Structure 1
Amino acid sequence: MLQNINKGMRLGSINGLRFKQLKLVILAFFILFLLWKWEKGTYYDSGILQPDPLVLTNPANSKFVDQHTSSEEDFPNADPLPQSVVKVEKQVTGAPRPLTMVGYSVDVADEKELPPPEKKECNYRNGKWVSDNRKPLYSGFGCKQWLSESWSCRLTQRTDFAYEKFRWQPEACEMPEFEASQFLRRMQDKTIAYVGDSLGRQMFQSMMCMVTGGKQRPDVEDVGAEYGFVLALGAKRPDGWAYRFPSTNTTILYHWSSTLCDLEPLNPSDHATSYAMHLDRPPAFLKNNLHRFHVLILNTGHHWNRGKLRANKWEMYLGGAPNNNWNIAVIWKAKNFTIHSVIKWLDAQLPHHPQLKVFYRSISPRHFFNGDWNTGGRCDNTNPLAKGSGIRLNHSEDTDAEGAVRGTRIRLLDVTALSRLRDEGHISRYSIMATPGVQDCLHWCLPGVPDTWNEILAAQL
């Protein structure tokens, strides 16, 4: 019996030891499991890491609601829209799709502050036109101090002005409203320069009307003489205009340079002389005044045709001599070469002018239907957004402009696709100077589409 008791005690001791060992093994596994989960980031103290709140804005809940609808009229193939243009968007009234919450994980041992999420830059290219009864920003009747009569469609026989009542809404962000006094304060002691063709001049006049609200401003100073803008003998207009707002010392100017080439008279003593069109030289005005600018907006495009070159007596030059490169002599290639040349030059100058921001504005689309400007082409549609209201593109429609700024510090002001939807906004047959059978389907009524170009510019400043 004693042997049985001793045997039982030994077995109990062994079993107790095994139980303790089993407990230790289980505890060890449990600790290892906790450590593994900790490394994976499954468990964390909410006081150490809080996921950032996700702020979402549904376009349907925006303070502006697109109430505009339009018929999907198909126009002839004279001005086809790319397949990427989105047709008129209908309001969705159903429940929103589920949202995904994105959090951030950090090493708990690292006590450094969690960096804020990178702010995604607004892409103003994609979005839609929406109706807005608060538009326009100024009256075409009132802005006579700055606006050419031929571009003020309110002064013509035109009777429909629905084109004035739209604003551009970017796809993934809200574009700030343009407020004139605030803009001038932001541009205090700064000079804004538009350099380009007549579409650049429209943008300049648009900005002058926007910052004055279309009101007479006798306090605004004409400082054109400071930039050499004087009326030459026999000229219809000077090479530009410049105005200064004394309250903020803000200067806004425009210089005519339709091709962004340096033009040099071959025989300065002859009024009928031809001009060297230096494809590889920026305009002398830019070289002489770049240090005075804080914002520079460039554009070119519609003057690049044989008719314009012949009429203006422009001869292509390269390397200071007549161009013998027949590959570059092709008009569209010469234009592309010039755009790349001036952008490259500006990009090299920017380190020496840290105050300067440069924008290259993409080409403004023409809207001639059933012919061209001289063959009966028309743009007398008055139905806004007849081709659609929205744009969703991965690249600019102006591939030359996009390619020229790629890899540089010059920013693309991409307005081509969004403007292509606004064929009803042209001067059309209502131009004061229009001759019978000729319509202006290149320039825009003001107020109108170029105001949006300036709003996008102001938003990026």
Structure 2
Amino acid sequence: MLVVPIVSGGGGGVGGGGVGKGGVSISLDCNYAKGKWVIDNHRPLYSGFGCKRWLSGSWACRLTQRTDFAYENLRWQPKDCELEEFQRSKFLTRMQHKTLAFVGDSLGRQQFQSLMCMITGGEEMQNVEDVGIEYGLVKPEGGTHPHGYAYRFITTNTTILYYWSSTLCDTQPIDPTDPESDVAMHLDQPPAFLQKYLHKIHVLVLNTGHHWNRGKLKANRWVIYINGVRSTEKELAMIWRAKNFTVHSVVSWVNSQIPKYPNLKVFFRSISPRHFVGGDWDTGGSCNNTTPMSVGKEILEEESSDLSVASAVKGTAVKLLDITALSQLRDEAHLSRFRMTPNPAAVQDCLHWCLPGVPDTWNELLFAQI
């Protein structure tokens, strides 16, 4: 079984005091990563048939051929404390005049969409304004979609945004005049978006992981750069070392910025697990379970199974949002073979999650710590 954390100096996080479910006091110091999944018939937090403005149709499993939805009725219960119950009004009040930004890959986008659905309850709200242009999040010329999204809840002046940065390092075409140019991955530089807009952000949630493989580097024509030149270091030619270098680099950079912005809270979300069985996504791998492996199991370990992120944040002001082990127990909650349009030949998706679903819990843990 995977293991999970509180990492001193930046680990499991410190939640705010308050009252949890049933009037139980919420601990000020809680390792939310330890615990178990329990059935809660008051779930989900929003309808899988609704939230059409925010939720991608391909991730709304209620709109597919899936017929089992027990995965929607599980709630994460920390072992030694209560998890603060998510309330829309409380979240917006807590984030009044503030901006929360998710920066990462498609799992970060799932967490962003989940939060938008949780705040709105999946219902249409007229007082939500698209403010993407304020963050340069507009569709580029010749592009099919922007590099992210930003929306503002007008009544509380709360902005929620997502920016696509699958590797959390700055990427720039080596020859901007050539559409077929290789792309420099500057492992020692944070994304240009963060460099430009960090001063506008109050809560930042970072993530990376699944794009660090040979296939992605080749498909995207990514070339590793350090100190502004192409890297010749043999160690960084190993993808996992390049990823670890980048994770430590971006944590070090953002930690150096926190003294300039004392109201900034930064979280690094640990990696979301894959559940392919019998192969990978392109070699017949599947995830057909409907009964989660979480039944009767409890996470008790103190240390995170995402060693790369845990070691990077240790001793910094960046907090670890540790979701790896608790998500590892939820193999039944992926998109699997289900699609909006039946396609028996389609590969199974055992990486992304059905929504409502597991990413809602990631946001509950985040809410308890901001």
Alpha-carbon distance, 1:313 to partner: 1.0
Distance 2:337 2:143 in 1: 27
Distance 2:265 2:181 in 1: 36
Alpha-carbon distance, 1:161 to partner: 0.3
Distance 1:375 1:165 in 2: 31
Paired positions, count:
347
> Would you say the 8 A contact 1:151–1:427 is kept in 2?
yes
Match of 2:300 in 1: 392
Alignment-mate amino acid for residue 192 of structure 1: L
Match of 1:89 in 2: none
Distance 1:121 1:402 in 2: 18
Which residue of 194, 201, 207 maps to 1:293? Answer: 201
Give per-residue Cα distances to partners, 1:240-282, cap 9 Å, x unaligned.
0000000000000000000001011111122222211000000
> Would you say the 8 A contact 2:30–2:81 is kept in 1?
yes
Match of 2:157 in 1: 249
Match of 1:258 in 2: 166
Match of 1:281 in 2: 189
> Would you say the 8 A contact 1:376–1:437 is kept in 2?
no
> Would you say the 8 A contact 1:189–1:249 is kept in 2?
yes
> Would you say the 8 A contact 2:148–2:163 is kept in 1?
yes
Q: CA RMSD in A?
A: 1.4
Q: What are the equivalent positions in structure 2 for 1:31-46 lying under 5 Å apart?
A: none
When normalised by structure 2's length, the TM-score is 0.91
Distance 1:305 1:371 in 2: 16
Match of 1:116 in 2: none
> Would you say the 8 A contact 2:170–2:190 is kept in 1?
yes
Which residue of 345, 350, 353 maps to 1:436? Answer: 345
> Would you say the 8 A contact 2:37–2:294 is kept in 1?
no
Match of 1:234 in 2: 142
Alignment-mate amino acid for residue 460 of structure 1: Q
Alpha-carbon distance, 1:222 to partner: 0.2
> Would you say the 8 A contact 2:275–2:287 is kept in 1?
yes
Is 1:197 the counterpart of 2:124? The answer is: no
Distance 1:231 1:307 in 2: 26
Point out the structure with max Rg over C-alpha: 1
Runs ≥4 in structure 1, deviation > 4 angstroms?
A: none
Which residue of 358, 365, 368 maps to 1:456? Answer: 365
Distance 1:190 1:124 in 2: 24
Match of 1:376 in 2: 284
Alignment-mate amino acid for residue 261 of structure 1: C
Distance 1:246 1:387 in 2: 42
Q: What are the equivalent positions in structure 2 for 1:22-421 lying under 5 Å apart?
A: 81-82=1-2, 121-385=29-293, 388-421=296-329
When normalised by structure 1's length, the TM-score is 0.74
SS of residue matched to 1:460: coil
Alignment-mate amino acid for residue 347 of structure 2: V
Distance 1:432 1:225 in 2: 31
Is the alpha carbon distance of 1:187 and 1:133 closer, same or farther for their aligned partners in structure 2, counting shifts above 3 Å?
A: same
Is the alpha carbon distance of 1:272 and 1:402 closer, same or farther for their aligned partners in structure 2, counting shifts above 3 Å?
A: same
| The structure with more strand, counted as a fraction of residues | 2
SS of residue matched to 1:391: coil
> Would you say the 8 A contact 1:279–1:318 is kept in 2?
yes
> Would you say the 8 A contact 2:35–2:298 is kept in 1?
yes
